Amino acid sequence: MTDQTAASYGAGTVPAPPAARGTSPALRDSFAKVRSEVGKAVVGQDGAVTGLIIALLAGGHVLLEGVPGVAKTLLVRTLSRTLQLDTKRVQFTPDLMPGDVTGSLVYDAKSGEFDFRAGPIFTNLLLADEINRTPPKTQSALLEAMEERQVSVDGVTRPLPVPFIVAATQNPIEYEGTYQLPEAQLDRFLLKLVLDIPERDNEIEVLVRSAAGFNPRDLAAAGVTPVLDPAGLAAAQAEVALVDAGTDLLAYVVDLARATRQSPSVKLGVSPRGSTALLSASKAWAWLNGFDAITPDHVQAMVLPVWRHRIQLRPEAELEGVSADTILRSILQQVRVPI
C-alpha cells in the first residue's frame, strides 16, 4: 500500500508496519497482484480498487457511486475474475420485481408441484447495477440477503453461497429516474466508494487502450488472469479476523461515533452497527499494510468510506452545502486520538 492510496481514504498516512504475527506474507502479497491485474482493465481508480478489496476481506458489501462511464461495472467484473468468484449481474430497472432477484416458485406441470427457481442472488458476488433505478420495494428484497446471507421465499429460508457479497453501483441521486436508497439498506453496506472522473493523464490512457483494441467485455484478451480463489479469500478473511484491537482503540471508535450523534449539523448519527463496520474495515486495512493490530491511523483512514452513507444531515446543513465528508473530517480533528 502507498501513502497516496491511504490518504485517499482519510486523514494521515499509515506508519511503517511492525512484523505481523500469525499471518502469511505471501497471502497478503497476493492482493498486490490482484490490484495489478485489475489495473490491466481499469485505469485511475486505485482508491476504489483498494476499497473493494477491503470490503471483500471484511466480508462486507460495497456501494459504488459515480456518474455513468467511470468503470464501476468493469471494476467489479475484473475483480471477480482475479478472485475466481462466481458472479452474476442484475440490471436494476423501474419494473424489476423482488422475485427477479431472489427467485420464485414455478409450477411444474409434470409433477403438479411448485419448484423453486433460484434467482441471480445465489452467487458469490452479486453485481447490482444501478441499484437506485428500481423502486424501494425491490431494493428491500436485498435486505435479508445482505444481513442474514439467506433469502426467504414462500416461508422457506434458503442459505446463500459462501462467500456472498453485494457490489452495488448507483448514479448520483440527483440524476433523472433514480430513487433514494432506504436508510436501513444503506446501513448494510460496509463501504460507500465515490468514483470520480479520472485525471487527464488517466483519461488519455483509457483512450490509448481503446485505440489499441481494448474490449471491456473480453477481460481474458486484456490479459487479466486469476490470482486467488474463494479458498484463498477465506484464508485471508480468517487472518483479518485475528487482527488485534486494543481497548483504547475501541473506545476511540465509540467516541468518533458518539461525536457524529452530537454534531449540530447531523440529524441521525452513526449507529453501533456503523461502529462495528468501522472496526472490521480498519482490521482489513491494517492487515493489508502488514499490521497485526489496528492503530488510530487505520481507523482514521476508513472513517469516510465506512460512515459517509450512514449519517443524515439536517436540511439547513444541506442548504449550506455541507457534506457528510466535511462533517466527518471535522470530527476526526476534534476527537482526542489515543496515544
- The CATH number for 253's domain is 1.10.8.80
Residue 285 covered by a domain: yes
Residue 1, pLDDT score: 37
Give the number of domains in the chain: 1
Cα–Cα distances in angstroms (integers) from residue 137 to residues 18, 92, 180, 188, 296, in the given order? 48, 12, 12, 16, 39
Residue numbers of the domain that contains 307: 242-339
Q: Which of 229, 244, 302, 237 is nearest to 57 (CA)?
A: 237
Residue 22, pLDDT score: 53
Cell of 87: 458472479
CA 156 to chain centre: 29
Q: Mean pLDDT, 10 residues at a time, over the chain (339 residues)?
A: 41 45 79 92 90 95 90 91 93 88 83 84 92 81 88 87 92 71 87 91 91 88 91 94 94 96 93 96 96 96 96 89 93 92
Residues 314 and 200: beta-carbon distance below 8 Å: no
Distance from C-alpha of 329 to C-alpha of 260, rounded to nearest angstrom: 11
Place of cell 429460508: 157
Residue 66, pLDDT score: 87
Helix axes 324-334, 296-307, angle to 10 degrees: 160
Place of cell 432477484: 101
Q: Cα angle at 288 between 284 and 289, to 5 degrees?
A: 120
Distance from C-alpha of 298 to C-alpha of 286, rounded to nearest angstrom: 6
Q: Count the Cβ atoms, other than its own, within 10 Å of residue 229.
A: 12
Distance from C-alpha of 140 to C-alpha of 249, rounded to nearest angstrom: 34
* 3 state SS of 82: helix
Q: Which of 25, 35, 70 is nearest to 56 (CA)?
A: 35
Distance from C-alpha of 222 to C-alpha of 227, rounded to nearest angstrom: 15
Distance from C-alpha of 247 to C-alpha of 296, rounded to nearest angstrom: 12
Residue 23, pLDDT score: 63
**pTM, 2 dp:** 0.87
CA 332 to chain centre: 22
Residue 248 covered by a domain: yes
Cross-sheet strand order for the sheet of 125-129: 87-91, 125-129, 165-170, 61-65, 189-194
Q: Which of 328, 47, 44, 29 is nearest to 201 (CA)?
A: 44
Distance from C-alpha of 124 to C-alpha of 122, rounded to nearest angstrom: 7
Residues 57 and 284: beta-carbon distance below 8 Å: yes
Distance from C-alpha of 126 to C-alpha of 183, rounded to nearest angstrom: 20
Residue 80 covered by a domain: no
Residue 101 covered by a domain: no
Cell of 311: 449519517
Residue 97 covered by a domain: no
Residue 336 covered by a domain: yes
